[in-house]
Amino acid sequence: MELKRRFRFRGNAAAFGGRLIRPVDIVIENSAAASLTVVGGRSRSRVGTQHFGDEVRLESAAAFAEGLFDDSKQYEELTYQRGREELLTTSTHVTSEVNGLVIGLKPQLTIARVRGGLRATTPLGSGETPVWPTDESVIEGLAIEGHKLIVELNTPLFQRLNTHAKLLAAADDPAFVRENGDHLFMQAAFEGRAIPSTGRVVGCDYTMSTIVRRLRWDGAPFPGSQLDGNLAVVPGLGRLYFGEMLVTTTSKRLTMIRMELGSPCGGFFSCGEVEDNGYW
């Protein structure tokens, strides 16, 4: 048997998931998920109204994953054993979406629409797969008991710095750190360690980042709430993290909303999650 160099597609999307442990134990079973095989193709799913106790409900959710060779003629030639697969280029696209989400009892979080999207193309000379968040990534109509919270995203930054190597190179530029260092949590305290004046990225084999430019209240803030970077702390509801993205040399994983729910509900919940990459 002669081994051939081939491209392995990878793309995953999960619209929602998690587990509540109080007031009752509820596993949030996700019925809107999509995943690619190593040879690519297309995967999609869609569901209507979902209820998980009195604490979580949503109107609809969907997930999509697609990975294809860009040139269908060249791909056809491969099926005749003509040409080399490594000379072809590929594109992968993943999205997940939740509409009409309601979380909690009192106070209650409502969100009209959450959508996360990533695209990836064939690795070039460095071997790192370019992956970037798409402009379709949005969080719309978010409110807590009528107090509107705006989540401003900065997807163009990560569309430009679309590999792990590019992000790390940017982190060595003082001008980048001054303007965009918060996207990489470069001035954030981490496990009690002192922060160098130049800042530092969080992670080792991975880099923690956020596509959130800023959070702001549209009108009066929710009483007692705090906003810090991509984090909103809401009394009686919990800690809400927006636009988190884990970056490695081989992939990116974007979670549009992750919740650490507090009293009276307790547990973890996330929605709008996608992961994208591909490699030779």
> Domain extents for the chain?
8-279
Of 240 and 249, the structure prediction assigns the larger pLDDT to 240
The answer to whether 88 and 78 are in contact (CB under 8 A) is: yes
Nearest partner of 206 among 171, 252, 142, 273, judged by Cα: 252
The answer to whether 40 and 84 are in contact (CB under 8 A) is: no
* CA distance to 56, 71, 96, 255, per residue, from 258 (Å): 14, 37, 14, 7
pLDDT at 200 over 90: no
Region 52-73 average pLDDT: 96
Region 232-248 average pLDDT: 96
The rounded mean pLDDT for the chain is 92
The answer to whether 53 and 24 are in contact (CB under 8 A) is: yes
pLDDT at 204 over 70: no
Q: Looking at residue 20, what is its pLDDT?
A: 95
Distance CA 158, CA 193 (A): 27
Beta bridge partners of 144: 109, 147
* pTM (predicted TM-score): 0.93
Distance CA 23, CA 122 (A): 47
pLDDT at 203 over 70: no
Q: Looking at residue 166, what is its pLDDT?
A: 93
pLDDT at 199 over 90: no
Kindly state the percentage of the chain with pLDDT values over 70: 93
